[in-house]
Amino acid sequence: MAESAIFFLFKQLSVWLQDEQKLLGGLRQEAELIRAEMGQLRAFLRVADAKEESDLQLKEWVRQVREIAYDTEDVLERYILRFAHHPQGFSGYLKRIYTSTKYLTARHEIASEIQAIRSRIQNVSQSQQRYRDMYATMLSGSSSNLATTYTWYDGRGDALLLEETEVVGIEKPKKQLLDWLSSTNYGVEIISVVGMAGLGKTTLIKKVYDDPSLKVNFDHHVWIAVSESFRIEQLLRDIIKQLVEEVKQAPPQGLGAMDDVGMREFIYNFLQNKSYVIVLDDVWRINAWEAVRYAFPRSNTHGRGCIIITTRFNNIANAACSESNGHVYSLKPLTAQDSKELFNRKAFPASSCPPYLKEISESILKRCEGLPLAIVLIGGLLATKNNRIEEWEMFNRSLGSELEEDNLRRMWKLLSLSYYDLPYYLKSCFLYLSIFPEDQLIEKATVIRLWMAEGFVEEKQGKTLEQIAEGYLNELFNRSLLQVAETSRDGRPRNFHIHDLLRECILSKSREQNMIFVNSQGGTKWPDKIRRLALDSSVNYAPQICCFENLRSLLVLGAADSKCVSMWNKVLRSGCRLLKVLELRKAPLETIPSEVFRFYHLRHLSLRETEVKVIPKSIGNLKKLETLDLKGSKVTLLPIEILKLERLRILLAYRYYGGVHAYLQPADVKSFRAPYGIGRLLSLQKLCYIDANEIVVIREIGKLTQLQRLGVTKLRRDHGREFCSSLANLTNLRSLYIYADEGEVLDLQYSLCSTLPFLRCLVLNGRLERIPQWIRSLNALTVLRLSWNRLQNDPLELLQNLPNLLVFGIDCAYEGEGLNFKAGGFQRLKRLILVGLRGLRWVRVEEGSMSRLEELMMRDCKSMGELPGGVEHLRSLQRAWFIDMGEEFVERLCEERRREGDEWKLGHVERVRLLNAVDGVIRSRGIDDNAHRRDDASDADYQDFIGRN
């Protein structure tokens, strides 16, 4: 984290030295010296960040460096704030700044502060000398040295000693893995088990490894614990030793001196034409797999081999399995029932849970979120408290601090390992997620905008900041640190979740590093300097006397009560002039506090889902603003002063009327009127939704060539040619949402001079006489939604050859009687949604069409009397929902299910639902899934599907 702070200071200094050089004047040299001296510390800090937990003196030194970096940024930003902001512009006041006594005094004060910063840096650099020996050791590159710094006992090997009776919820995954192992062919096959720390990957594989069937079916068995600190030579040497010991042979002569090539060759020859199982447990690096992959024979004509890998990293699991078409098993948390059973075994070993502890037990279990390690350790600790309710309640209230105590420190360290393994640029990003309240789903788009505003995203040539930030999130998903909760239409993560215990870890770490303060920490003393403050309205606000002049971010996440309002009003009026992020989502606001428009450094302003109706002219003061989020507010008009915001990248100002997104009509989207000249905001990348009912606005849109997401409403028929002309300029578009004006036809038949090469998502909502021809050239298109189009002709012929289409929805858009999915069409389609097609009588699926379709939803297609013809050809279909269908359809479907049994057309589909929506509640119509499936109309996957579509 200290290196992260230094890096961001480095980046800020570079910006200041370039953009503010006139203002810096004589302080430029001082700023450059600070940058140079900080640069000398970076190499040491990169390793010291990972070492500080094992050396309290080093930890204090790192803290001092981090605070110096923060304070340096504060000083320089206060300097810019005092001299940059003038009501009549900068140039006319430049001479006055340098000549007036007032400004000379201010410059002298800040110069003194900068010199004090330099003195602090020099002092902390001198103290670095005592760590030179450690520094040399770190630079030596010895993995074993790195491993020795973690001297605590993590207990991962304990999983190898557990009896079968001590494990719950293991039967299904164990059976699946044994089935894969029994069906392996000649050659070598890879099985990867992936999941977050503490899920029981090692425990599961050990039970599989010890199963009698493996002893019978495989001649050789090897178990290697790899871990994060592996050495290639030792890894290969351990494999050889276990192989020869099992057959009671002596190790090869000269094994200790053998190089890795020789050892791989020995393993290869030893296993040729033999059957074997090799477990590589806890793989952290792809090069661990690369080091051994060619040691296993691939042309094993008389034998078969299986390599089982456990890892926290999805990319390692997938890479290892890709060559052999192997299997990846994503281990899930325990179910509620299994969690309860395991917890009761540990917490009440000789009895059952007493009634007075039931509620507290459920609360603790909920926070464990099915993590077996947490359940075992916490249950075992609570078993020592002799069922005393006051001690249980105290533990439940202070779980975060309890994790740092000796009894639970093993779990704390195991979870922390994943944090320390992060590259420096991800540590700040990950800790920042502690701002979000417990149990709250976190929106990916919001996180990306906040990271950018905070300056956490490092620029890279050829990529936008949004793309880089999304890559950061994907890396955290890859490391099993985040769990996807909801996906978007094209299957990419949209909302995600952090395990509650992992959140407690990063909350403690961010508080320790004074990065973020979250007021949900009950009795925690507020720090003297708060740089980022997240207010949780669910807790009582103890009166605090704090200095907020260093505050960079103020976030109110969740509906705010009166105490919360009072608190953030107090903060805004306290002189926090360095604020960069102001997130007031769902705040009870009708007008924007006037203090907001004095925040010169503000980059992110969110008034989402507030009652704000008017954006004042003073919005033009926020020259550094990059995100203005007014989604769900009542703003319908933006002042011309918005055009002064030359850095604005994201402008969202719309709200939806009505409920289900699939039934949105053009009039259900409330957009905003933009001032003339909106095309001057050349940095805009997201613009939703803008009234496009005037030709001058349509022409301005064509100037916004950086746009990646565009939503327009009230488009009129006679503006079609001009709109298509503007659209052709927007070659960076990824998402496009077009809504017609009420009663108008969307006339989009005009050809485009470019093909919109990156467009992934297209929504056309409004009457169409025919499908625009240019859509067939959208080679990157993954999502297409047609809504309220009143099409008379079958639209499938034009669309069936889109090469990358994954999701296709037709919502109240087609008035014909039939749809024919021809053979060879829609080859990559995974989701098909047919909604509100009241005149549709038949659907035909020819063999070879939609060969990869996984999900089908038909809703409110009342004239359909039977299942789509040829639905049995959809062999990849996994889930099918039929909602609010006609009575004839329901009766025939139920009758076919009863009559045909296992030969039913949908007999191969994992999950089938026949449902009715009554007052927003989904109810089953009486058809069950295939006999071995459970019937639960509120399945999480169904809710996810509806949310996406």
**Concatenated DSSP letters of 89-110:** -SGGGHHHHHHSHHHHHHHHHH
Task: Tell me, yes or no, whether 83 and 228 share the same domain.
Answer: no
CA–CA gap between residue 859 and residue 836 (Å, rounded): 6
3-state secondary structure of 417: helix
3-state secondary structure of 348: coil
Task: Tell me, yes or no, whether 25 and 96 share the same domain.
Answer: yes
**CATH code of the domain in which 465 resides:** 1.10.10.10
**What pLDDT band is residue 440 in, cutting at 50, 70 and 90?**
confident
Higher pLDDT, 384 or 574: 384
Kind plus residue range of the DSSP H or E element containing 10: helix 2-19
Task: Tell me, yes or no, whether 164 and 234 share the same domain.
Answer: yes
Is 737 within a domain? Answer: no
> Please, what is the average pLDDT of the chain?
83
Kind plus residue range of the DSSP H or E element containing 820: strand 818-821
Q: Which of 280, 273, 266 is nearest to 319 (CA)?
A: 280
Between strands 581-583 and 879-883, the pairing is unpaired
Nearest 10 degrees: Cα torsion 287, 289, 293, 296: 140
Task: Tell me, yes or no, whether 89 and 191 share the same domain.
Answer: no
30-39, 272-281, 535-544, 712-721: the lowest-pLDDT one? 535-544
Number of domains in the chain: 6
Between strands 220-227 and 276-283, the pairing is parallel
Task: Tell me, yes or no, whether 492 and 629 share the same domain.
Answer: no
Higher pLDDT, 516 or 800: 800
- 581: β partners: 553, 604
Checking if the pLDDT of 104 tops 70, the result is no
- So what's the pLDDT on residue 146? 36
Residues whose CB is less than 8 angstroms from the CB of residue 314 and which lie 6 or more positions away in sequence, other chains included: 194, 477, 478, 479, 480
- So what's the pLDDT on residue 168? 82
Checking if the pLDDT of 258 tops 80, the result is yes
Quick one: average pLDDT of 860-867? 93
Residues whose CB is less than 8 angstroms from the CB of residue 933 and which lie 6 or more positions away in sequence, other chains included: 910, 911
Query: What size, in residues, is the chain?
Result: 949
Is 681 within a domain? Answer: no
Is 119 within a domain? Answer: yes
Is 732 within a domain? Answer: no
Higher pLDDT, 608 or 50: 608
- So what's the pLDDT on residue 685? 95
- So what's the pLDDT on residue 853? 96
- 911: β partners: 879
pLDDT-above-90 percentage for the chain? 43
Longest dimension (CA), the chain: 95
Checking if the pLDDT of 35 tops 70, the result is no
Residues whose CB is less than 8 angstroms from the CB of residue 544 and which lie 6 or more positions away in sequence, other chains included: 526
**CATH code of the domain in which 626 resides:** 3.80.10.10
Residues whose CB is less than 8 angstroms from the CB of residue 555 and which lie 6 or more positions away in sequence, other chains included: 435, 532, 533, 534, 535, 581, 583
Q: Give 602-609 contacts, CB < 8 A, sequence gap 24+.
A: 603/452, 603/453, 603/627, 603/647, 604/449, 604/450, 604/452, 604/453, 604/580, 604/629, 605/629, 606/446, 606/582, 607/633, 608/632, 608/633, 608/652, 609/585, 609/633
- CA-to-CA dists, residue 103 to 99, 108, 518, angstroms: 7, 8, 37
Is omega for the bond preceding 689 within 30 degrees of 0, making it cis? yes
Task: Tell me, yes or no, whether 561 and 477 share the same domain.
Answer: no
CB atoms within 10 A of CB 420: 17
Checking if the pLDDT of 297 tops 80, the result is yes
Quick one: average pLDDT of 738-745? 89
CA–CA gap between residue 752 and residue 702 (Å, rounded): 13
> By residue range, what is the domain housing residue 617?
516-653
CA–CA gap between residue 908 and residue 62 (Å, rounded): 59
**What pLDDT band is residue 473 in, cutting at 50, 70 and 90?**
very high
**What pLDDT band is residue 855 in, cutting at 50, 70 and 90?**
very high
**What pLDDT band is residue 132 in, cutting at 50, 70 and 90?**
low
- 737: β partners: 711, 763
With b for 16 or more beta-carbon neighbours within 10 A and e for fewer, the 877-915 pattern comes to bebbbbbbbeeebbeebeebbeeeeeebbbeebebbbbb
Kind plus residue range of the DSSP H or E element containing 309: strand 304-311
Quick one: average pLDDT of 593-619? 93
- So what's the pLDDT on residue 402? 73
**Interaxial angle between packed helices 372-382 and 409-420, expressed in degrees from 0 to 180 and rounded to the nearest 10:** 150
Domain stop point among 468, 490, 509:
509
**CATH code of the domain in which 252 resides:** 3.40.50.300
Please give the structure tokens belonging to residue 606: 């969110």
Is 795 within a domain? Answer: no
Domain stop point among 118, 142, 166:
142
pLDDT-above-70 percentage for the chain? 81
Evaluated on CA atoms 339, 345, 347, 352, the torsion sign reads positive
CB 810, CB 833: distance < 8 Å: yes
- So what's the pLDDT on residue 416? 81
Kind plus residue range of the DSSP H or E element containing 215: helix 212-217
With b for 16 or more beta-carbon neighbours within 10 A and e for fewer, the 859-875 pattern comes to bbbbebeebbbbbbbbe
2-6, 642-646, 864-868: the lowest-pLDDT one? 2-6
Task: Tell me, yes or no, whether 261 and 288 share the same domain.
Answer: yes
**What pLDDT band is residue 569 in, cutting at 50, 70 and 90?**
confident
Q: Which of 765, 708, 773 is nearest to 739 (CA)?
A: 765
In a 13 Å sphere around the CA of 813, the CA atoms on its Cβ side amount to 28
DSSP character for 866? S
- So what's the pLDDT on residue 161? 47
- So what's the pLDDT on residue 592? 93
Between strands 831-835 and 855-859, the pairing is parallel
- So what's the pLDDT on residue 458? 86
Is 896 within a domain? Answer: yes
Is 61 within a domain? Answer: yes
Task: Tell me, yes or no, whether 168 and 314 share the same domain.
Answer: yes
Is 55 within a domain? Answer: yes
Q: Which of 732, 645, 591, 153 is nearest to 407 (CA)?
A: 153
Task: Tell me, yes or no, whether 494 and 393 share the same domain.
Answer: no
- So what's the pLDDT on residue 839? 92
- So what's the pLDDT on residue 330? 93
- So what's the pLDDT on residue 883? 92
Checking if the pLDDT of 463 tops 70, the result is yes
The pLDDT tens digits of the residues spanning 760-783 come to 999 999 999 889 999 999 999 999
Task: Tell me, yes or no, whether 38 and 137 share the same domain.
Answer: yes
The pLDDT tens digits of the residues spanning 824-847 come to 999 999 999 999 999 999 999 999
- 740: β partners: 715
- So what's the pLDDT on residue 89? 46
Checking if the pLDDT of 417 tops 60, the result is yes
CA–CA gap between residue 533 and residue 515 (Å, rounded): 9
- So what's the pLDDT on residue 936? 40
First to last CA, the chain: 40
Checking phi first, is residue 681 left (phi over 0); if not, alpha (psi -120 to 50) or beta? beta
- So what's the pLDDT on residue 949? 53
Checking if the pLDDT of 602 tops 90, the result is yes
Domain stop point among 301, 330, 359:
330
Write phi, then psi, for 345 (nearest 5 degrees): -60, -40
Task: Tell me, yes or no, whether 530 and 618 share the same domain.
Answer: yes
Please give the structure tokens belonging to residue 932: 């071995």
Quick one: average pLDDT of 45-55? 65
Ranked by mean pLDDT, the top range of 58-72, 653-667, 873-887 is: 873-887
The one-letter code for the residue type at 718 is D
The pLDDT tens digits of the residues spanning 310-323 come to 999 999 999 999 87
- So what's the pLDDT on residue 623? 92
Checking phi first, is residue 860 left (phi over 0); if not, alpha (psi -120 to 50) or beta? left
**Which residue is listed with tokens 């003038």?**
86
**What pLDDT band is residue 87 in, cutting at 50, 70 and 90?**
very low
- So what's the pLDDT on residue 67? 81
- So what's the pLDDT on residue 43? 62
- So what's the pLDDT on residue 541? 55
Task: Tell me, yes or no, whether 109 and 195 share the same domain.
Answer: no
Checking if the pLDDT of 92 tops 80, the result is no
CB atoms within 10 A of CB 277: 23
Please give the structure tokens belonging to residue 914: 């026949």
